[in-house]
């Protein structure tokens, strides 16, 4: 069965620290991969996506993610976080019926 695993439940960083959030997926077909972000009290928003081509994808607000097929991974990175990056981050993979399968999410708290 398809699944998405996010390794960290809660990450706490100071401003300017580098961020890497892990995501591994299990899916036998062609994958589309996504990172969504949910700021406190706001909608889920798309941060970035991978469909094909360059495995290093860049998203909004300085985020990037790298698709490593051999590792079944799609880790999210940002070189220097800001307080405004405090949010919950969700990794997702296409589920084959047009739906997405989400990981449990990682809460990021950035201390000013």
Partner 1 sequence: ETGVTQTPRHLVMGMTNKKSLKCEQHLGHNAMYWYKQSAKKPLELMFVYSLEERVENNSVPSRFSPECPNSSHLFLHLHTLQPEDSALYLCASSQVFGTGMTYEQYFGPGTRLTVT
Interface with partner 1, residue 105, by CB under 8 A: yes
Q: Which of residues 30-89 bind partner 1 (CB under 8 A)?
A: 30, 32, 34, 36, 42-46, 49, 51
Q: Could you tell me which stretch among 55-63, 65-73, 75-83, 93-101 binds partner 1 (CB under 8 A)?
A: 93-101
The 3-state DSSP class for residue 8 equals coil
Interface with partner 1, residue 101, by CB under 8 A: yes
- Sites of contact with partner 1 (CB under 8 A): 4, 30, 32, 34, 36, 42-46, 49, 51, 90, 94-105
């Amino acid at each position: 069965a398809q699944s998405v695993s996010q390794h960290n439940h809660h990450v706490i960083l100071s401003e300017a620290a580098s961020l890497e959030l892990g995501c591994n997926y299990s899916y036998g077909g062609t994958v589309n991969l996504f990172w969504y972000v949910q700021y406190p009290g706001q909608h889920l928003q798309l941060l970035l996506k991978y469909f094909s081509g360059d495995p290093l994808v860049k998203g909004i607000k300085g985020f990037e993610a790298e698709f490593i097929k051999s590792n079944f991974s799609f880790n999210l990175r940002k070189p220097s976080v800001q307080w405004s990056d405090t949010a919950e981050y969700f990794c997702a993979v296409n589920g084959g019926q047009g739906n997405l399968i989400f990981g449990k999410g990682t809460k990021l708290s950035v201390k000013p």
